[in-house]
Amino acid sequence: MSPQQAERRAAELRTLLHHHAHRYYVLDAPEIPDAEYDRLFAELQAIEEAHPALRTPDSPTQRVLGRVLEGLAPVRHVVPMLSIQTETDTTAAGAAAFDARVRRELELPADAPPVEYAAELKFDGLAISLRYEAGVLVLGATRGDGETGEDVTQNLRTIGQVPLRLDTPHPPPVLEVRGEVYMRRDHFERLNERQRARGERTYINPRNTAAGAVRQLDPAMTASRPLSFFAYGVGDVRGWTFLDRPAPTHGELLDALAALGLPVSGERRVVRGAEGLVAFHRDIEARRDALPFDIDGVVYKVNSLELQRRLGFKTREPRWAVAHKYPAQEQVTVLRGIDVQVGRTGKLTPVAKLEPVFVGGTTVSNATLHNVFELRRKGVRIGDRVIVRRAGDVIPEVVGRVVNGAPGTPARPRHPYVPNFHMPRRCPVCGSDVLREKGGIDHRCTGGLFCAAQRKQALLHFAGRRAMDIEGLGDKLVDQLVDGGLIRTLPELYKLGVGKLAALDRMADRSAANLVAALEKSKKTTLARFLYALGIRHVGEATAKDLARHFGAMDRIMAAGVDELLEVNDVGPVVAASIHAFFAQPHNREVVEQLRAAGITWDEHEGAAAAAGAAALPLAGKTLVLTGTLPTLSRDEAKELIEAAGGKVAGSVSKKTHYVVAGSEAGSKLDRARELGVPVLDEAGLRQLLAGGVS
């Protein structure tokens, strides 16, 4: 490629990549798959490596930079980044008070038309300024003290929503965009989940995490954090034709920024008078928890830029804008005690019992501590003053302790830290043993079928299609059965009669009779299905089949030690320990016996472990293919019988296929079997094969 061709292609690739990055990060409407974007990106990288002079500041390859900065250089703002006045009255009256002040400052008579306002969200992040010269990002800075901030250009380049170049063929000579870097709640939660999995400290809140990421000395560290950006205003502007139009407004300014490729929040509105402000405040407050990011209020701005100039500033705050706060989402309170909650899957979670505190618009007296290791990492003890956070739909959590009584200051661990809470050894609900898997962080109740906290989950799993396949036993019915005290253990399912069921909500005689029939039908099952239905931790369908093949009988599985369980195909130490712990609980063994007594049966065999070898199973090493509809067996039932006999069921016929089992309406698989000379069996032939009568 000649230098001229390289220059043209690099320009084409930059334009393409900027377009697709805008579609992906800002519009959330990608036009090409990630792999195609990566291919274009790699092509541009290769051209720039071969021709370093073609590497421009706005190139997409310059987003993620590995150079560690020696320090954050100061940046003096041409137009100061001033704060706006805060309205501390969190009720709707605060909006009306701002409107009254504006009308008074403008000397409007009582009968004058309502003032028009631009109403926006007050993002809970870090204010930054982006300076574009001739459409290219040349400088990014923090607010700092309003007069002087810090140069974080390298870090801001790593944020996908920050355009490196404005999307216009005629950019203004200078456009300084003001906005907020923030972190979405779901991204924050995933980040903390990764931290917990690594055994590292978790972050207190999205705002602090975003601010810390922007001010990192290593841009690669910033790039590893999932940051986002919204534009909400401008600073230094030179030669922007938008401002030359007659009577420009703030709402139109935001539209113009969006047209340049800058992300602007859609949660904004132009309203009139105090009534419009109050309505916006109430609407956002009602939907605050559903927003994907944190806000701590809303912002009102006089919409007319001309009126903004007339109103001017008071000291360091504009008279034409105000931040109307909502109740704080972090507060300090006292940790009075710690209870343990048992979840639907048996996980034990320590729950903080707090001195009640008003946070995030509600009174909070309980908050999660996640797990005992998280509690210790935060250095929290009963009796401490702690920081409590409530944001959105996230369960309130204790994020740290207060140091030396200074409100809002994150805790530093005590040296040494001595906890005054320990996870119980027995489940507080059912008294079963509490275990923590080796290398894991969660403690779990081993009660399983017996534990009341796990009852609904156990019933739903037991009735699942891949388990006992009890048609008609769904979530709402299980809720009624458990909440009404009709079911306390799994065996009680089989004692339900039409009368009791028909008396439940949305149940009639026919529905009740159908469920009783489904329960009766489920009594004839397979050992593998029954094992899977018990809901033993780590025992999925495949493991249940392996256990059934290996041992052949339920009693042998229940009696197996860890070493014997480790002999089963694909069963490792964690799975073996889980199975052994489950059957070591007397009440779990009792549930199994009661289910047997209720009439549940399955076929058993000698098992691979007790036989002379795996070849003792009639279909050991054999591959079968099923096609068509069999007279009495469903496809799943036939597959389970074959797998229990040591065979494998494949989806297509090949030279390695040993048998094809064909029913009515068999299709191309039967034709393929005949073409290859593969033996074909009907259902009777399959049963004979399972009994060892065909070789």
Enzyme catalytic residues? 122
The interaxial angle of helices 635-644 and 541-551, nearest 10 deg, is 40
Q: By C-alpha distance, which of 204, 186, 208 is closest to 378?
A: 204
Query: Of all helices (H) and strands (E), which one includes residue 365?
Result: strand 362-368
Distance (Å, rounded) from C-alpha 400 to C-alpha 397?
9
Contact criterion met (CB below 8 Å) for 410 and 400? yes
Beta bridge partner(s), residue 317:
314
Contact criterion met (CB below 8 Å) for 424 and 340? yes
Within 13 A of 92's CA, how many CA atoms are on the CB side?
Answer: 14
Distance (Å, rounded) from C-alpha 473 to C-alpha 640?
23
Contact criterion met (CB below 8 Å) for 161 and 82? no
CB atoms within 10 A of CB 618: 20
Distance (Å, rounded) from C-alpha 131 to C-alpha 77?
10
Distance (Å, rounded) from C-alpha 537 to C-alpha 446?
9
> Which backbone phi and psi does 53 adopt, to 5 degrees?
-65, -20
Residues 6+ apart with CB under 8 A from 448: 346, 432, 454, 458, 534, 535, 536, 537, 582, 585, 588
Which residue type sits at 503?
A
Distance (Å, rounded) from C-alpha 558 to C-alpha 561?
9
CB atoms within 10 A of CB 195: 15
Contact criterion met (CB below 8 Å) for 357 and 333? yes
Distance (Å, rounded) from C-alpha 279 to C-alpha 286?
11
**Beta strand 116-123 pairing with 295-302:** antiparallel
Distances in Å between the Cα of 198 and the Cα atoms of 54, 202, 296, 400, 441 are 41, 10, 31, 19, 10
> What are the structure tokens assigned to 141, written together?
């800075």
> What are the structure tokens assigned to 110, written together?
């009582």
Residues 6+ apart with CB under 8 A from 109: none
Query: Of all helices (H) and strands (E), which one includes residue 499?
Result: helix 498-502
Contact criterion met (CB below 8 Å) for 228 and 293? yes
Which residue type sits at 57?
P
CB atoms within 10 A of CB 637: 15
Chain CA centroid to CA 520, Å: 40
**Beta strand 659-662 pairing with 680-681:** parallel
94, 99, 101, 106: CA torsion to nearest 10: 170
Within 13 A of 490's CA, how many CA atoms are on the CB side?
Answer: 34
> Which backbone phi and psi does 325 adopt, to 5 degrees?
-80, 155
Chain CA centroid to CA 642, Å: 39
